[in-house]
A and B are shown apart, each in its own frame.
Chain A
Amino acid sequence: ETGVTQTPRHLVMGMTNKKSLKCEQHLGHNAMYWYKQSAKKPLELMFVYNFKEQTENNSVPSRFSPECPNSSHLFLHLHTLQPEDSALYLCASSRGVGSEEQYFGPGTRLTVT
Chain B
Amino acid sequence: DQQVKQNSPSLSVQEGRISILNCDYTNSMFDYFLWYKKYPAEGPTFLISISSIKDKNEDGRFTVFLNKSAKHLSLHIVPSQPGDSAVYFCAASDFTQGGSEKLVFGKGTKLTVNP
Contact = CB atoms under 8 A, between A and B. Distances in A.
Interface stretch (A60-68, A79-87, A104-112): A104-112
B110 to A, nearest CB: 12
B89 A56 contact: no
Interface residues of B, number: 28
Given A42-B105, A56-B98, A106 B34 contact: no
A40 B107 contact: yes
Contacts of B106: 42
Interface of A: 2, 4, 6, 9, 40-43, 45, 48, 50, 55-56, 58, 90-92, 97-107
Contact of B46 (A91, A102, A107): A102
Contacts of A40: 107
Contact of A102 (B4, B99, B103, B104): B103
